[in-house]
Structure 1
Amino acid sequence: MSYGFVRLYRRDWSPEQVRRRVDSLAAAGMVLSHPRTGRITAISGAWETIGEQVEMDRDGLLAAMAGLGEEGFTFQYWMTDDEDADVICTLRQAGDGVVVEDYGLDGFGGPVYRKGQDTVIRRLLAEFRATGPTAVGLVVDRWGPSQETDLDDIVIGGPTPVTITPELMVLRPEVAHRHPELRNLVPFGDFLARDTDGILALVPD
């Protein structure tokens, strides 16, 4: 079992950008509707029903994605090539106009965890590149030990030190240079990356 995650940080989160993200992921095989049942589901954050599926229609889900409040919003993507595989996504605000798309890698475990995780990571790396100038940063943590670190503050440019390094951190150059603890940085488009696991090799050509 993996408790890892991929976090994509971006600006300009609007209804149009929400639709573009959903449509782009759908083209890559991550869809809102369950491949067999067609159900679209959010995940309840209410205390009485926390963690339970809440059925929604597409328009309602897209509106909830675009209209983020302080609580954030959690829902499910489904993999078209495996109807039992889902990716939990939580959208939330990180401050300074930045929105975090937090994609869970839970369930992509076992002896072939890398193959399962990589099917998700590969798609999200492509999404990061497609985000263009509104992209702020990206983090991939296969097992989740860095989740107790204030990664939001680090990616946005705050003073929090990187004490636990995820397998991949993609930061703006001016942010990366504030962290001498991050060594062996490599270019990744307009960003600098610390890649300890060869994850950037998954980026489509």
Structure 2
Amino acid sequence: MTYGSVRLYRRDWSPEQVHRRVDSLAAAGMVLGHLRTGRITALSGEWETCGEQVEMDRESLLAAMIRLDGKHFTFQYWMADDEDADVVCTLTRLGDVVVEDYGLDGFGGPVYRKGQDTVIRPLLAEFRATGPSAVGLVVDRWGPALDTDLDDIVTGGPTPVTVVPELMVLRPDIARRNFDLGRLVPFGDFLARDTDGILALAGSE
């Protein structure tokens, strides 16, 4: 078990973009319906039932993703090639920025890095496809940055980078403020600190 995650930061969280995200991930093998049962499930955030599955239909789940009532919404994607593998996704609204936090829990430790890569690879593609609405991306494979306010760092806040996740893709001004330029590599219009070679999963520019 790990506590790693991939976080995508973006603006323009419109109904059209929500539908595009879900359809694009489905084409890449991350689907809303369980492979065998077809069930679509959110996860309760209520104290008494926290983490319990709440069955929903597709349109109700998409509507909840769009509204983000209470600023948080958590649900499950399922890997189309493994009915036992799920990716918990929590959406959080930070002002005009939405954070998509995709959990890597259950994809194993370092020996099972390839399992994590099946999640990371399509999310790198999603970041690219977000275009001008993209704000930043973080891959924290094993969770050492769990207690770091990554959201504040990515959105330009004053929190220092004291624990460096394996990949941070930041706007150039934010990247230069936090890292030596010699340790940064370009990724589209962004600069990245990539300590694990993760950007290789994205293929060529």
Same fold (TM over 0.5): yes
Greater shift in the superposed pair: 122-131 or 67-76: 67-76
- 1:140-179 to 2 correspondence within 5 Å? 140-179=139-178
CA shift at 1:112, angstroms?
3.6
Corresponding residue SS for 2:61? helix
Aligned to 2:55: 55
Aligned to 1:123: 122
Aligned counterparts of 1:181 and 1:153: Cα–Cα separation in 2: 19
- TM-score, normalized by length of structure 1? 0.96
Assess if the C-alpha contact under 8 Å between 1:145 and 1:164 holds in 2: yes
The one-letter amino acid of 1:77's match is Y
Aligned counterparts of 1:199 and 1:86: Cα–Cα separation in 2: 21
Assess if the C-alpha contact under 8 Å between 1:8 and 1:101 holds in 2: yes
Change (3 A) 1:121 1:162: same
Root-mean-square deviation (CA, aligned residues, Å) is 1.3
Instruction: Flag structure 1 segments of 5+ consecutive residues without an equivalent.
Output: none
CA shift at 1:180, angstroms?
3.6
CA shift at 1:66, angstroms?
0.3
Aligned counterparts of 1:77 and 1:182: Cα–Cα separation in 2: 37
Corresponding residue SS for 1:187? strand
User: How much identity, in percent, do the aligned residues show?
Assistant: 80
Q: Once superposed, which parts of structure 1, at least 4 consecutive aligned residues long, lie more than 4 Å away?
A: none
Aligned to 1:108: 107
Aligned counterparts of 1:99 and 1:26: Cα–Cα separation in 2: 20
Greater shift in the superposed pair: 22-31 or 69-78: 69-78
CA shift at 1:5, angstroms?
0.2
Instruction: Name the count of aligned residue pairs.
Output: 204
Corresponding residue SS for 1:84? coil
Aligned to 2:198: 199
Assess if the C-alpha contact under 8 Å between 1:182 and 1:194 holds in 2: no
The one-letter amino acid of 1:7's match is R
The one-letter amino acid of 1:88's match is V
Aligned to 2:83: 83
Assess if the C-alpha contact under 8 Å between 1:146 and 1:164 holds in 2: yes
The one-letter amino acid of 2:156's match is G
Instruction: Flag structure 2 segments of 5+ consecutive residues without an equivalent.
Output: none
Greater shift in the superposed pair: 170-179 or 185-194: 170-179
Aligned counterparts of 1:155 and 1:110: Cα–Cα separation in 2: 26
Corresponding residue SS for 2:87? strand
Aligned counterparts of 1:198 and 1:117: Cα–Cα separation in 2: 14
Aligned to 2:93: 93
Aligned counterparts of 1:182 and 1:166: Cα–Cα separation in 2: 17
Greater shift in the superposed pair: 190-199 or 105-114: 105-114
Corresponding residue SS for 2:146? helix
CA shift at 1:110, angstroms?
4.6
Aligned counterparts of 2:90 and 2:107: Cα–Cα separation in 1: 17
